[in-house]
Amino acid sequence: MNKDQSIDIYEGTQLLTTYHVGQSRLKNYFHPVNIGEGYPLTLDQPYDHPWHHGLYFTWKYINGINFWEDTGSPEQTGRMTNVGEPQVTVESGKCYIRQVLDWEVLTGEKFMKEHRNITIQPVDQQGGYRIDFDFSFKSLKPMLHFDRTSPEEFPWGGYAGLSFRPVRSFGGGTLLSSEDGDDVKSIHGHTAKWCDFTGRLDGGRELSGGVAMFGHTGNPRHPSPYYVFDTNDLQFLQPALLFNEAMVLNESQDLRLRYGVYIHEGAASKDQLENQYQQYISTYTEG
């Protein structure tokens, strides 16, 4: 695998997004995630949190090792490493990415193996598309303890999982959840089937776009609480599986998590978002 390998996904001649998978990276992630004529919705390696990477998945702590930040010692910092090269296929207008990943400490100790399946497909007539994630985790240890910074101890705690870091122009944007939450106070820490964050985009005065995150009904702890930030410098959205409590995965168990991410141009109504959510759910039956 090329040290800085990435996968570009196009709709015609328009770049939708790029998936970064090179072995020089501690995480695999999508950036930019574009809408319209190439307007990015994601922010990569921002100065305030350089370990944030556009649209990405990572745990916080596994058995005390930090897989979120990358500022600690090699003995206390984790990474995901591709086993072989990702397999990419295109069929019937959909792009499929298949990966096997080792979750390991920088010093080499392996904790977990992951099979990751990603599907990218157009879903509406206005240029909207969806990125579907199917994560399957298998412990390589007798027990794995997934934890987070406690929100009871620190007001910013509770995060781990699939994450969206928007461009800063999303500040003061529009939030909407399946449970009629419409601001940080009514969404942060509250459960929902889906949540959308829409904001302004650079490139013109009237440009906007959004990202809606859908939790699959088969996920453990569904519906998850959502983790949301919207301050002057930091905007963030995540279905936070561990928000309320840690999770244990034994060697004999598998953990499967599935999410859909709907990327849309302009604002989306609650009916539109609910319809897209139901479309996502109907695409994947149990099993």
Please give the pLDDT value at position 17.
Answer: 98
pLDDT at 3: 53
Q: Is residue 1 part of a domain?
A: no
Degrees to nearest 5, angle at CA 132 with 183 and 55: 55
Q: 188 in a domain, yes or no?
A: yes
pLDDT digits 0-9 by tens, 42-88: 999 999 999 999 999 999 999 999 999 998 999 999 999 999 999 99
What whole-number distance in Å separates Cα of residue 108 and Cα of residue 85?
19
- Domain of 232? 6-283
In a domain, 54, yes or no: yes
Which residues, at least 6 apart from 118, have a Cβ–Cβ distance to it below 8 Å?
A: 19, 96, 97, 98, 99, 131, 132, 133, 134
116-153, pLDDT tens digit by residue? 999 999 998 888 999 999 999 999 999 999 999 999 88
Contact partners, residue 158, CB within 8 Å, separation at least 6: 148, 149, 150, 151, 189, 225, 227, 240, 242, 243, 244
Q: Could you check whether the bond before residue 50 is cis, i.e. omega within 30 degrees of 0? A: no
In a domain, 21, yes or no: yes
- Average pLDDT of the chain, as a whole number: 95
What pLDDT does residue 1 have? 40
Percent of the chain with pLDDT strictly greater than 70: 98
- The answer as to whether 265 is a domain residue is yes
C-beta of residue 209 within 8 angstroms of C-beta of residue 124? no
255, containing H or E segment: strand 254-265
Q: What is the pLDDT of residue 39?
A: 96
How many angstroms separate the CA atoms of 43 and 51, rounded? 11
pLDDT of residue 24: 78
Amino acid at 193: K
Q: Is residue 153 part of a domain?
A: yes
Least confident of 29-33, 236-240, 249-253, 259-263: 249-253
**Domain tally for the chain?**
1
Convert the pLDDT of each residue in 155-173 to its tens digit. 899 999 999 999 999 999 9
Question: What is the domain-level CATH number for residue 44?
Answer: 2.70.98
